[in-house]
Structure 1
Amino acid sequence: MDQSKRILDGLLTLARSQAGPIRQHDVDLADLVSGILAGAAGETTARDLAVRARSMARPGSRVSSSCLNAWSAT
């Protein structure tokens, strides 16, 4: 079990070292969501759907990029 743990820890360390530095930047989520909804407008109209977006985040709050990536990939 110890050897398996050491191997996994080593692989994780290797993966992190090759991933490069994490880049952080501010994103205006209102603009992001507006753009996504505008891009989907034709599809929602064709399917007779109504879509509303409402922010529940506090202004200036931060969201991790992994959260944004997971959200945009679905």
Structure 2
Amino acid sequence: MSDPMSFESDLLGRITALVTEEHDLRQQPEHRLTPEERQRMRELESDLDQCWDMLRRRRAHAEVGQDPWVS
């Protein structure tokens, strides 16, 4: 099993990359987004929600002394 700190660092890196991509898409006026870009925006929002949820759950487990690898 991976090191929890390394996992968290990797997850935070993933969040940063997703936020950057989302920000780049949001810089365009909404009416200029292609259907593919709108779909990608929905995917990014979903992926970010999942990543933040995973990070919160792992931190909460660790905070109360539970195994952070158990979801």
- Fold agreement, TM-score > 0.5: no
Q: Could you say which structure has the greater relative contact order, defined with CA pairs below 8 angstroms and 6 or more residues apart?
A: 2
User: When you count helix as a share of all residues, which structure comes out higher?
Assistant: 2
TM-score with structure 2 setting the length = 0.29
